[in-house]
Amino acid sequence: MTKQMKKIGFYQGLPVEEKDSFIKIMDVVPVATGHDLLVAVDAISVNPVDTKLRQGAAKKEQLTVLGFDAVGRILAVGDAVEKFQVGERIFYAGSSKRPGSNQEFQLVDERIVAKAPNSLSDEKAAALPLTSLTAFELLFEKFQLTPQAKANVGKKILVINGGGGVGSILTQLANWSGLEVFATASVKNFEWLRNNGVDHPLDYHKDLKEQLISLGTNRVDYVAVLYDVLPYFQQLPELVQPGGRVGSIVGVNQPLPIGEWKNQSISFDWEYMFAKTDFDYKIETQGEILAEIATLIDEKVIHSHVGKIYQGISVAHLKEATKDVEEGHVQGKVVLTGGFVD
């Protein structure tokens, strides 16, 4: 008899409160071939990208299965797999082009996974992949900073929305690598910023330029805009050094007049974690990055953020976790752990 597995997804994007916003079906367990690993998913987390891809999605005949953070155990390996063995515990973000981690068993390319940090529980490890990949790629690939301890001393970075999921990892990595870190949040979250490597918390309600000057800084070398860049676009040239770099992870719905930055020779970088797997471009670097993240975690250089945990992966819990993310009231990641339950 062919082995079956649970899959949770949707046929069309509906408000999360509606009965069919998430549906569980049974399907055949896939077979690992090539570079694929067959993984038994033990824990997942919900990200804003999950809600964006679900909301308003057109009706389809085939179930859409999302989920871009997972921890699990390898059950089988494809014939081209070189780095992993059955039984190993791994973590990964997956790909937007394949069914995600909201299923009991998942196929994932070995080149985009790493062994999970030994020092972390499943739920804490599941909170890391997407945000840490995004943060690491923006800092050390797009901004071309050096990914080593204290390697970038003397340089300054401003992180807009430093208290969010990506921001809370990015500020830790920036601090580890030697940057002087400025970051925005509401005043009530300043202690959160400090606990995540921020040297100078800034109130996002107030003028950023004036706050920098009050701290003895006219301009920074890098600005990571982890929020809609449009409200900040006109003031960014006043915040970044000539020859500096600005990067963002949030798409825009209108053209950006980048030409205005030419005379200051300011560069702009987009960071999209799925670009590598979408276009089969240097995908092995994501496994390498996650391995570095696991090392930094086990060495207690950086830490994971879990804000809320649901015991058991189910339709009901995935609905609740998705609602938490959509409402944005949970500080830290929302995680489902303990494997799939009925």
Mean pLDDT of 84-109: 97
Q: How is residue 229 written in tokens? A: 């860049």
Range of the domain at 10: 4-129+304-340
Ramachandran area for residue 112 (φ above 0: left; ψ -120 to 50: alpha; else beta): alpha
Please state the domain count of the chain: 2
289 found inside a domain: no
Mean pLDDT of 217-246: 96
Q: In this structure, are residues 62 and 5 in contact, taking their beta carbons and an 8 Å threshold?
A: no
Residue 1 pLDDT class (50, 70, 90 cuts): low
Mean pLDDT of 226-239: 95
Do 175 and 258 have their domain in common? yes
Residue 184 pLDDT: 98
Distance CA 238, CA 81 (A): 50
Residue 321 scores a pLDDT above 60? yes
Do 148 and 201 have their domain in common? yes
Percent of the chain with pLDDT over 90: 96
Give residues with Cβ within 8 angstroms of 285, minimum separation 6.
Answer: 141, 276
Residue 329 pLDDT class (50, 70, 90 cuts): confident
Do 123 and 219 have their domain in common? no
Residue 193 pLDDT class (50, 70, 90 cuts): very high
| Global pTM value | 0.97
The CATH number for 221's domain is 3.40.50.720
Distance CA 2, CA 268 (A): 51
Instruction: Convert the pLDDT of each residue in 206-218 to its tens digit.
Output: 999 999 999 999 9
Q: In this structure, are residues 298 and 119 in contact, taking their beta carbons and an 8 Å threshold?
A: yes
33 found inside a domain: yes
Residue 342 pLDDT class (50, 70, 90 cuts): confident
The CATH number for 308's domain is 3.90.180.10
Distance CA 188, CA 44 (A): 28
Instruction: Convert the pLDDT of each residue in 244-296 to its tens digit.
Output: 999 999 999 999 999 999 999 999 999 999 999 999 999 999 999 999 999 99
282 found inside a domain: no
250 found inside a domain: yes
Do 147 and 266 have their domain in common? yes
Do 181 and 63 have their domain in common? no
| Crossing angle of the two packed helices 129-137 and 165-176, in degrees rounded to 10 | 50
Do 124 and 190 have their domain in common? no
Residue 56 pLDDT: 79
Terminal C-alpha separation, the chain: 21
Residue 2 scores a pLDDT above 80? no
